[in-house]
Amino acid sequence: MRRIIRGLTKFYARRAPMSHDLKSHLAELLHVALRSVAPNESAAAIHIERPRQATHGDFSCNLAMQLARSLKRNPRQLAQLLVSELPYSSLVESAEVAGAGFINFRLSAAAKLAVLRGAIEQGAAFGRATVGARRKLLVEFVSANPTGPLHVGHGRGAAYGDSLCKLLAYAGWEVTSEYYVNDAGRQMDILAVSTWLRYLELHGPTTNLPFPPNAYQGQYVGDMARQLLASHADRFLHAASSISGGLPGLPETTRTDAAAVQQREAHLDALIARAKHLLGEEWAYLHDFVLTEQLADCRNDLEQSGVHFDVWFSEQSLFSTGLVARCVDRLEKAGHLYLQDGARWFRSTAFGDEKDRVVQRDNGLYTYFASDIAYHLNKYERGFERIINVWGADHHGYIPRVKGAIQALGLDPGQLDVALVQFAVLYRSGAKAQMSTRAGEFVTLRTLRDDVGNDACRFFYVLRKSDQHLDFDLDLAKSQSNDNPVYYIQYAHARVCSVLALWGGEVRALAAADLTVLDSHYELTLASRIGEFPEVVEAAASELAPHLIAFYLKDLAAEFHSYYNAERILIDDPAKQNARLALVAAVRQVIRNGMTILGVSCPESM
């Protein structure tokens, strides 16, 4: 075994070791020590981790504490024995016992610096992981009803979902991104009738009707109505009297009690039914028109934000292909449905939900839940080995019933992960902006992007864990200061570009530089941080947490700026200059790779 360790040491010394290589190497050293100290425990799992505090070394292991009880030994004494039996490795500067029995390793300078060659030689591939093993994975995100422009709240789900797709692809998964288009529900009917009412208003008082307060109010509705008028003139025209007769009345606008809300919804539903009756086949055209317009606007808005979808999946297709009916019948045959008051109910409580759920109403219409079950069945039938839904945090209670339905279908609910995203709250001049789509009082994603720039949008949206509340500080996002993290990271990249441009050489040639001349605290700290990047990628992918990449890049930029301010890069000593250039070139490459995952650009000058 010691001969193997010597061979591995030489192997790692010749190549640019990744952090997982170093972890494996340290684990092998400990296995040798363990065989000497406790042969019967030599098969024990050994976990090597980064310590939380840099002063505790580069890597740490709790093996002594893990085995102390079974070996009936004091953990610190056991740790000392293990350290004393560790084979020599040129990659390890020291191994020390700390705390209750941790073994802390400090890497040699050569081990820390060797990673720079890997960053330069591998370029855009540096830090890529293979944990996904090219398995098929589907990420569905945004999926906002196409009933109006995307607002700043949707933007966070878009930025998170797209960054997550890029991160998981970087970690080795075969990723498909998907937008689920809710084109079959009541909300689209409300948008269609809202547009029709605005269209009627344009014809004058004889066709003008009171506009329901619970219809869609935004300017975009009026814009679509004007398009209809310009293209189709009187095609959809009907007299107000033929529309309003017999409809439930609208309560006073000042009333907000439950009865008033219910009455307004009943009025809106009756208005939709009347529109469908009067317009006949023209209703389908009107419905498709508003859907097409809003979906095109949504797609364009997302593309401008750098968010691209591989698949736009239509909810309506679940009905037209008969999948919803087939899915409900499958649940019934498996004994998971029962009939009550004319409706078919899914026994959701048998799978941890708080109450059973209707899948088909007494009028024969399927519920949204039924189509959602069918949509998930479709995901499984397409052969994805892992499925991730990115939902708003208000959908937390929806998870048990969906997973329960998946289990009831005889599928593995463990293949489905749900990542929850809190809506971001935008503050402008200290005031909170409202984001209601029906009321028309919202700040669009397009407006936010125009205001602070796409890079700030993307970075700020993923600067916190997705299920944590996020206040979007516009003033900070627009500032060109060290307090603005995206500016601070981009400035680090631009600084390196400036240095390399002044130097004027071929960056890839720097991989051959003599790195042993890098011996300052700043240089070794910066090299160690670069070496952490592959670990951060794996951890972020495992936790579905792109914000870990953002945190890492902030720390890397801070350490680079400290180094840049403390040392000159372009100096008279050719050997030291090339080594320093290799160091900063590696910094630039890691910043590029990390920012690419987050969908943020890296300007070469600022």
Per-residue pLDDT reduced to its tens digit, 170-211? 999 999 999 999 999 899 999 999 999 999 999 988 778 889
For residues 288 and 436, which has the higher predicted lDDT (pLDDT)?
A: 288
Counting beta carbons within 10 angstroms of the beta carbon of residue 43, is it exposed (0 to 12), middle (13 to 18) or buried (19 or more)? exposed
Domain membership of residue 509 (yes or no) is yes
Query: What pLDDT does 11 receive?
Result: 42
pTM: 0.91
593 shares a domain with 490: yes
Domain membership of residue 346 (yes or no) is no
Could you read off the pLDDT of 319-362 as tens digits, one per residue?
A: 999 999 999 999 999 999 999 999 999 999 999 999 999 999 99
Could you read off the pLDDT of 254-285 as tens digits, one per residue?
A: 888 999 999 999 999 999 999 999 999 999 99
Residue 454 has pLDDT above 90, yes or no: yes
Question: At which of 107, 127, 153 does a domain end?
Answer: 107
Query: What pLDDT does 351 receive?
Result: 94
Query: What pLDDT does 9 receive?
Result: 45
490 shares a domain with 589: yes
Domain membership of residue 480 (yes or no) is no
Q: What is the rounded average pLDDT of the residues 575-583?
A: 98
Kindly give the residue spans of alpha helices, DSSP state H, lying in 15-99: 19-37, 63-71, 75-84
Question: At which of 229, 263, 280 does a domain end?
Answer: 280
* Residue that is written with structure tokens 């009026």 in the block: 222
Could you read off the pLDDT of 66-83 as tens digits, one per residue?
A: 999 999 999 999 999 999
Q: Are 5 and 32 in contact (CB under 8 A)?
A: yes
Cβ–Cβ contacts within 10 Å for residue 100, how many?
13
Q: How many domains does the chain have?
A: 3
198 shares a domain with 100: no
The winner for highest mean pLDDT among 237-241, 432-436, 437-441 is 237-241
Q: In this structure, which long-range contacts are made by residues 89-94, counting pairs with CB atoms below 8 Å and at least 24 apart in sequence?
A: 89/5, 89/9, 89/25, 89/29, 90/9, 90/13, 91/9, 91/12, 91/13, 91/17, 91/22, 91/25, 92/26, 92/29, 94/57
Q: What is the CATH number of the domain that holds 549?
A: 1.10.730.10
Mean pLDDT of the chain, nearest integer: 93
Domain membership of residue 583 (yes or no) is yes
Query: What pLDDT does 438 receive?
Result: 56
Query: What pLDDT does 4 receive?
Result: 42
For residues 115 and 246, which has the higher predicted lDDT (pLDDT)?
A: 115
% residues pLDDT > 70 (the chain)? 95
| Beta partners for residue 389, in sequence order | 140, 418
Question: At which of 263, 280, 297 does a domain end?
Answer: 280
Q: Are 92 and 107 in contact (CB under 8 A)?
A: yes
Domain membership of residue 211 (yes or no) is yes
Domain membership of residue 209 (yes or no) is yes
Query: What pLDDT does 1 receive?
Result: 47
Could you read off the pLDDT of 513-563 as tens digits, one per residue?
A: 999 999 999 999 999 999 999 999 999 999 999 999 999 999 999 999 999
Q: What is the CATH number of the domain that holds 75?
A: 3.30.1360.70
Domain membership of residue 130 (yes or no) is no
For residue 447, give the nearest of 304, 551, 285, 343 by alpha carbon: 304
Label residue 433 by pLDDT band (50, 70, 90): low
Extract the tokens encoding 466: 């997705």
Kindly give the residue spans of alpha helices, DSSP state H, lying in 92-139: 109-113, 115-122
Q: Are 540 and 577 in contact (CB under 8 A)?
A: no
CA dist., res. 135 & res. 205, Å (int): 61
586 shares a domain with 491: yes
Domain membership of residue 545 (yes or no) is yes
For residue 598, give the nearest of 157, 308, 165 by alpha carbon: 165
Per the structure, the complete domain to which residue 223 belongs is given by 188-280
